[in-house]
Amino acid sequence: MLRENKEIDKFDMMPFIALINHISKNKIKYSMKNPNHIDIVHEGRYLMHIHKRKDLSQDDLADFFGQSKGTIAKALRKLEDKGYIERKLEETNRRKYILKTTKNGEKLAILLEKDLKKWEELVGIDKLDNKTKTQLGEIARKSEEIIKE
């Protein structure tokens, strides 16, 4: 895909998966240089998800993000130590922890969501049509199914 001035740059030649990876890395770099930067770039996505969901367990979070239970537990420990989340034992299953944001966690999750929305507007993700978003979701779903086979 050539730009209007017919110059070819690295993005014209980059494979699709490399473009996705590049966008993801640049989102992290943007978060780090943002004046509102909070020192939990990776844990932030977990915090935002916990904030949006009720009765979410650690296992649910690991399944949703395709991460190992150990990776999730380590990130949750950091969030808990910083006072952003609470883990409560489920009453009917004493081996299952339910996650909940604290008041500080709620404030941080809202700030992170605003920063994410701003970034998506700056790069144009908010302009993607529903068909494109659906197609990208389907690609993500299939890629996850393939690795489970």
Q: What is the pLDDT of residues 63-96, one digit of tens each?
A: 998 889 999 999 999 999 999 999 998 888 878 8
Q: What percent of the chain has pLDDT over 90?
A: 56
pLDDT at position 36:
60
pLDDT of residue 66: 86
Lowest mean pLDDT of 31-35, 42-46, 142-146, name the range: 31-35
**Backbone dihedral angles phi then psi of residue 95, each to the nearest 5 degrees:** -100, 0
Q: Could you write out the DSSP letters of every residue in the chain?
A: ---TT----HHHHS-HHHHHHHHHHHHHHHHHHSTT--S-HHHHHHHHHHHH-SSEEHHHHHHHHT--HHHHHHHHHHHHHTTSEEEEE-SS-TT-EEEEE-HHHHHHHHHHHHHHHHHHHHHTGGG--HHHHHHHHHHHHHHHHHHH-
Reported as a pLDDT band with limits 50, 70 and 90, residue 5 is low
Answer CATH for 35-148 from 1.10.10.10, 3.40.630.30, 3.30.70.520, 3.20.20.140: 1.10.10.10
Instruction: Give the pLDDT mean for 19-32.
Output: 88
Supply 144's token pair. Answer: 């996850």
